[in-house]
Amino acid sequence: MPRLQANRLMMPKLDRDTVLADHLAQALNRVAQSRDRQAFATLFDHFAPRIKFFLMRKGSTSEQAEDLVQEAMISLWSKASLYSPEKGSVATWVFTIARNLRIDRLRRERAQLYETLEDFDAEDETASAHDVMARAQEDTAVTKALAQIPEEQRQLLILSYVDDVPQSEIAQRLKIPLGTVKSRMRLGYQRLRKLLEQIS
């Protein structure tokens, strides 16, 4: 199983993260506008190894992970024009695509659950240009903020998001009460939200 690059989480936020987020957003825009294959290749080279890492942490074999990576990237190619920056950064959008596909593999019905939310978001969210800019940088801010929260909170968020472990199972694995798992996760999340509010 691939190991998490914990030291990367500890790195200070660099301007190049913002530049990178911008670069990815432009590439996605070119895919949406003109089906630009080179822009797609840029997105593939950035996201495919990251999605594969995520999937292997969740227990997929290399082949299974590559199958799903291909599906996720083809989905990105197909849905590029449906991406709306009001909903967050490109990385966050790709995260939701990969999440939904993985769940879809487990149970068809469940992924469609998230699709019902996609439709809602697109219809109802109103955001100013300033909001959109702030949201594009949210995941960069999250990365920075993750380095600032206590290890016991960060560990639980990583177990949920990266390793895909349900809260009840986290409690069993770490031999702590479910209530403690939840309260640590809440604390970590509330801290992250506060930091996100500061940038917007």
Restricting to residues 63-122, name those near other proteins by CB under 8 A.
65-66, 69-70, 73-74, 77-82, 87-89, 91-96, 98-100, 102-103, 107-110, 112-117, 119-122
The token pair at 198 is: 């500061």
- Shortest distance (Å) from residue 169 CB to other proteins: 9
- Shortest distance (Å) from residue 72 CB to other proteins: 10
**Nearer to other proteins among residue 109 and residue 129 (C-beta):** 109
The token pair at 64 is: 């299974």
Distance CA 54, CA 74 (A): 17
Contact 70, 117 (CB under 8 A): no
Map residue 96 onto helix, strand or coil: helix
In the chain, % helix, strand, coil (3-state, to 5) comes to 80, 0, 20
Distance CA 78, CA 80 (A): 6
Residues in the chain: 200
Among 23, 155, 189, 191, binds other proteins (CB under 8 A): 189
121-160 binders of other proteins (CB under 8 A) = 121-122, 124-125, 135, 138-143, 146, 157-158, 160
Among 56, 132, 174, 176, binds other proteins (CB under 8 A): 56
- Shortest distance (Å) from residue 158 CB to other proteins: 7
163-182 binders of other proteins (CB under 8 A) = 164-168, 178-179, 181-182
176 phi, psi to nearest 5 deg: -130, 155
